[in-house]
Amino acid sequence: MLHAVTDSSVSGPVSGQENPPQFRRVLLKISGEALMGDQNYGIDMPMADRIASEVAEAVRAGTEICLVIGGGNIFRGLSGAAKGMDRAAADYMGMLATVMNALAMQTALERIGVQTRVQSAIPMTTVCEPYIRRRAIRHMEKGRVVIFAAGTGNPFFTTDTAAALRAAEMGCDALLKGTQVDGVYSDDPRKNPDAERYDQLDYLDVLTRDLKVMDASAVTLMRENAIPIVVFSIHEKGGLARVLAGQGVCTMIGKPRPAPSAGK
């Protein structure tokens, strides 16, 4: 059964809607580049506002949502390491970039009445909460959006892996990855017009074909916990709500869990 949103500022009809959400709780992973909009660097607040409106619509429909946002629009650890920087130091800088993005998204969400909490894997209590699993779950049960920042808190792990880890810890029904294209392709469709698009894949298909969806460690973690990965375009207006309702254009990796039964 879907959890009702308790915050009156974002409450809306949960039961009796034409296309109720097929997932009770999800983690949405978006790249830092998604926040750039048409810019070459940094945060484009109109783009952050548009993504926030998509998340708000999903919350009003009754889905509990947590987010992980990458930091590539500000600093990417691998790029810093490639230029001679110590890899661990570069990764920590990348984690700080994700905190900046998380705070920007929190601002965008709260401007439209969605209560939001940022939890960082690297404690910085002046600007956000430390990551505490039970507290994060309680926030979502109360209808708040939780944004997990600073990755796993460890170097050498990407935000894809952090997203998979948090999805498993939160007991999410799916990990949704908002990308630049509308699903998983055999090649980059922006460079290869003949690239094949997949509607359904198994976790092992992704790993054996080396499809560039998420890191192998993230895919493996989702496979071990039987959490499906849903890949869709973050740039399609209303795309998140349609995917949650089972109507959007996307690629499903793994099989969706059975819908929660009434009273469960």
Digit-coded pLDDT (tens) for 166-185 = 999 999 999 999 998 999 99
Higher-pLDDT residue of 37, 166 = 166
120 is in an annotated binding site: no
**Which pLDDT band, with edges at 50, 70 and 90, does 25 fall under?**
very high
Q: What is the mean pLDDT of residues 193-213?
A: 94
- Lowest mean pLDDT segment, chosen from 169-173, 178-182, 219-223, 255-259: 255-259
Question: What is the average pLDDT value for the chain, to the nearest integer?
Answer: 90
**Which pLDDT band, with edges at 50, 70 and 90, does 257 fall under?**
low
pLDDT at 248 over 90: no
**Residue 220: what residue type?**
T
pLDDT at 10 over 80: no
Higher-pLDDT residue of 222, 78 = 222
Please name which of 56, 36, 58 lies closest in space to residue 46, comparing C-alpha atoms: 36
75 is in an annotated binding site: no
Q: What is the mean pLDDT of residues 132-144?
A: 98
Domain residues of the chain, as ranges?
Answer: 25-253
152 is in an annotated binding site: yes
Percentage of residues in the chain with pLDDT exceeding 70? Answer: 90
131 is in an annotated binding site: no
In CATH, the architecture of 25-253 is 3-Layer(aba) Sandwich (3.40)
pLDDT at 8 over 50: no
Please name which of 72, 29, 35, 64 lies closest in space to residue 165, comparing C-alpha atoms: 29
As a whole number of angstroms, the distance between CA 220 and CA 4 comes to 32
pLDDT of residue 260: 55
158 is in an annotated binding site: yes
Phi, psi at 4, each rounded to 5° = -70, 145
pLDDT at 14 over 70: no
84 is in an annotated binding site: no
As a whole number of angstroms, the distance between CA 227 and CA 254 comes to 7
155 is in an annotated binding site: yes
Q: What is the mean pLDDT of residues 94-98?
A: 96
pLDDT at 7 over 50: no
**Residues 29, 105 contacting (CB under 8 angstroms):** no
77 is in an annotated binding site: no
73 is in an annotated binding site: no
pLDDT of residue 46: 96
Q: What is the mean pLDDT of residues 231-249?
A: 92
130 is in an annotated binding site: no
Residues 6 or more apart in contact with residue 72 via CB below 8 angstroms: 31, 32, 33, 94, 97
185 is in an annotated binding site: yes
Phi, psi at 200, each rounded to 5° = -140, 135
Higher-pLDDT residue of 77, 264 = 77
11 is in an annotated binding site: no
Digit-coded pLDDT (tens) for 112-128 = 999 999 999 999 999 99
Please name which of 60, 57, 82 lies closest in space to residue 2, comparing C-alpha atoms: 60
